[in-house]
Amino acid sequence: MTAEQEAAEAPRRRGDKQRHAIVQAVRELLEEKPFAELSVSTISDRAGVARSGFYFYFDSKYAVLAHILGEVTHELEDLTHDFAPRGDDETPAQFAKRMVGSAAAVYAHNDPLMRACNAARSSDAEIRDIFDGYNDLIIDQIVPIVEAEIAKGTADPITTDVRRLVRTLAATTAFTLSGESAFVGPDRDIDAAVRVLEKLWLRALWGGQVGT
């Protein structure tokens, strides 16, 4: 790389570092307080950037959250191999384990972010809209997989309303992996909850009769 190219790249690298610092600041702050208590000033101070610097990259703290959820989506895509359909050498049980296990890994890696956002859904409309959009992306990936298997006669879901079924399964998975007490119980045994989720997906979509 020439000196001129190095000089041209320097501002972009600085910008990448500042954007990363802002994102990391939000992640760190969510370990300390609810999202509702975060302000642009607090985020900027933690990131070591000016408020004007924050607004150069993000319109609001919600834009940072949307950016982070985009990263989470990419992480889930990587772990699920871009939501690859079930192959001939993968049983329905293995497919359910791949999908639920990947989601569990992503939630664990991004906790407490995911936990905090799920907790704030009921009281913050913007977070709810962002998270609903994130969930819709996941649902849009899974529904065609199920519909293709139905067409081949290799899946037998408990209802013909596949999209609503997948939405219900996805929501149950999200709240369970977020550690909601109503879903995991007082012992908060996430590993046991994941095993139940795997069986739930399997039986809801395949009746639990194939590949168990």
| CATH assignment of the domain containing 26 | 1.10.10.60
**Is residue 8 over pLDDT 80?**
no
Task: Specify whether the CB–CB gap between 176 and 197 falls below 8 A.
Answer: yes
In a domain, 211, yes or no: no
Q: Tell me which residue range forms the domain holding 109.
A: 62-206
Percent of the chain with pLDDT over 70: 91
**b vs e for 73-103, b when ≥16 Cβ sit within 10 Å of the residue's Cβ?**
beebbebbeebeebeeeeebbbbbbbbbbbb
Angle (nearest 5°) at CA 79 between 205 and 166: 25
70 & 155 share domain: yes
Q: What is the pLDDT of residues 104-131, one digit of tens each?
A: 999 999 988 888 887 788 888 888 898 8
Number of separate domains in the chain: 2
Residue 192 main-chain phi, psi, to 5 deg:
-65, -40
> Within this chain, do residues 30 and 70 fall inside the same structural domain, yes or no?
no
Same domain for 97 and 129, yes or no, is yes
**Same-domain check for residues 46 and 148:** no
Residues 173 and 68 in one domain: yes
pLDDT number for residue 127: 87
Tell whether the model's pLDDT for residue 211 goes beyond 80.
no
Asked whether residue 27 falls in the same domain as residue 120, the answer is no
Whether the pTM exceeds 0.95: the reply is no
Indicate whether 181 and 111 sit together in one domain: yes
* Higher pLDDT, residue 210 or 127: 127
Q: What is the pLDDT of residues 169-207, one digit of tens each?
A: 999 999 999 888 899 999 989 999 999 999 999 999 998
Look at residue 212 and tell me if it is in a domain. no
Residue 83 lies in a domain: yes
Of 41, 57, 73, the residue at which a domain comes to its end is 57
User: So what's the pLDDT on residue 119?
Assistant: 78
Give me the CATH number covering residue 76. Answer: 1.10.357.10
Check whether residue 158 and residue 119 sit in a common domain. Answer: yes
Assigned domain for 78 exists: yes
pLDDT surpasses 50 at 7 = no
Does the residue 118 lie in any domain? Answer: yes
DSSP 9-66: HHHHHHHHHHHHHHHHHHHHHTTTS-GGG--HHHHHHHHT--HHHHHHH-SSHHHHHH
- Count of alpha carbons within 13 Å of 7, Cβ hemisphere only? 3
Whether residues 82 and 131 fall in one domain = yes
Do 75 and 47 lie in a common domain?
Answer: no
79, 170: one domain = yes
